[in-house]
Amino acid sequence: MGLNNQWMQRDLAVLWHPCTQMKDHEQLPLIPIKRGEGVWLEDFEGKRYLDAVSSWWVNVFGHCNPRINQRIKDQVDQLEHVILAGFSHQPVIELSERLVKMTPEGLTRCFYADNGSSCIEVSLKMSFHYWLNRGQPDKKRFVTLTNSYHGETMAAMSVGDVPLFTETYKALLLDTIKVPSPDCYLRPEGVSWEEHSRTMFLAMEQTLAEHHDTVAAVIVEPLIQGAGGMRMYHPVYLTLLREACDRYGVHLILDEIAVGFGRTGTMFACEQAGITPDFLCLSKALTGGYLPLAACVTTDEVYSAFYDDYPTLRAFLHSHSYTGNPLACAAALATLDIFEEDNVIENNKALAQRMASATAHLVDHPHVSEVRQTGMVLAIEMVQDKASKTAYPWQERRGLKVFQHALERGALLRPLGSVVYFLPPYVITPEQIDFLAEVASEGIDIATRNDISVAVPSNFHPDFRDPG
């Protein structure tokens, strides 16, 4: 028995993995990773895998980055953790100062959580509580987009709309208002992204006009709906949304957990619309992919609604044990240093262009309906019929075939259903991008070559898809 198999058997005896049907591992080998370096992950038998999805979209400057490593090592000898209620520490103060300085103008206060889903919960609770403190208790509903994803805790699921994650728990979720997504994939032929996004905003305008008296906030993923299949839309939608939220007296929450920190081509996606949200949710790349940390950055107006004498009970009494952990803050500070010192955003433009040129040939593939891109995110959507964009039944798991082929070739490509995507660390080289394009092309050929016979259950839901 090889080393990989030994570790796999020990794992399967005791672990329950996230986002996984564990029975799959009766046929699909689990891959234990021993070490990482740059874009590469290496298993216990020395095989390497190029991490094309940044280990669930978190890693931006490579595995075991020496600059981030050193910052954490220095911090662990100084202070590993301290309660953030009534106490503070240098890394969290410095990180907060830098986030306030680099985020859009008007965002002045940082509230920390442990992960993205928790950060969304913070923003939702904070918005509702704001209106309660302001004497408007009826404003307690949230507006969200169809096909959106904001996490897997209860309130975060409530404002999501990917059935695979939400359908089972429907009875437990908040009553939210869902508005059609501005996703440009199904735009009419000849219609631009901007024109389609403007048209789709009409539904949001009507919803706010009818329901603003009871709505606390609108929450959206700016520019890219990640778990919804890397569907994308034009920044003009955000511009129109900010204006409408102001006009109707509704908060705007931007979930930049996946798309922040350079992923869309600017440091924050909302910069492309020239807007400031009331709440900006950040996580994932915040620590360079090292440690769990999230920040909900908000305004002085929101902060002031909670600032009062204790007996008024206006305080935001929300906490996490590891809030503002010094080690995570140290990793975040090192990550921000690299952004500042290495001209990352500008360098990414060349890498994004290479991603586009390396995959350009797939536009003509008979089973690829679209190759779409926003910054350092590129998605390739496989379909059974190109002309009508008819999707493959999700039960066929075409993306899984791409995933398996990529592993054989030494790449970690974890598709979202039939959507193959590149979301690599920013330290990837042009030659490594070419390699990923080659592997993806081969995998797509294999996955779309033959018909697959699957039994479709009576409760078939066409919007389900494999998780990424």
Same domain, 441 and 426: yes
Known binding-site residues for pyridoxal 5'-phosphate equal: 116-117, 255, 320-321
> Residue 248: what are its φ and ψ, rounded to 5°?
-100, 0
Element (H, E) at 225: strand 224-225
Please check whether residue 310 lies inside any domain of the structure.
yes
Same domain, 269 and 163: yes
Same domain, 292 and 238: yes
Secondary structure of residue 271 in the 3-state scheme:
helix
pLDDT of residue 33: 98
pLDDT of residue 462: 54
Q: Please tell me the distance from the alpha carbon of residue 130 to that of residue 302, in angstroms, as a whole number.
A: 7
Same domain, 263 and 365: no
Please check whether residue 459 lies inside any domain of the structure.
no
Same domain, 405 and 370: yes
CB 282 within 8 A of CB 119: yes
Q: Please tell me the distance from the alpha carbon of residue 365 to that of residue 18, in angstroms, as a whole number.
A: 33
Same domain, 38 and 76: no
pLDDT of residue 457: 56
**10 Å Cβ neighbour count for 313?**
9
Q: Please tell me the distance from the alpha carbon of residue 316 to that of residue 319, in angstroms, as a whole number.
A: 9
Known binding-site residues for substrate equal: 56, 149, 284, 319, 414
CB 255 within 8 A of CB 150: yes
pTM of model > 0.75: yes
Domain boundary among 342, 362, 394: 342
How many domains in the chain?
2
Same domain, 409 and 308: no
The DSSP annotation for 322-389 comes to: TTT-HHHHHHHHHHHHHHHHTTHHHHHHHHHHHHHHHHGGGGG-TTEEEEEEETTEEEEEE-SBTTTT
Same domain, 85 and 54: no
- The CA-based angle 41-349-183, given to 5 degrees, is 85
Same domain, 285 and 381: no
pLDDT of residue 461: 55
Domain boundary among 327, 342, 357: 342
pLDDT of residue 450: 81
Same domain, 57 and 121: no
Please give the residue range of the domain that contains residue 256.
67-342
- CATH code of residue 301: 3.40.640.10
Same domain, 189 and 291: yes
- Helix, strand, coil shares of the chain as percentages rounded to 5? 45, 15, 40
pLDDT digits (tens, 9 = 90+) for 419-437: 999 999 999 999 999 999 9
pLDDT under 70 in the chain at which residues?
Answer: 452-468
Please check whether residue 234 lies inside any domain of the structure.
yes
- CATH code of residue 46: 3.90.1150.10
Known binding-site residues equal: 56, 116-117, 149, 255, 284, 319-321, 414
Same domain, 91 and 213: yes
Please check whether residue 351 lies inside any domain of the structure.
yes
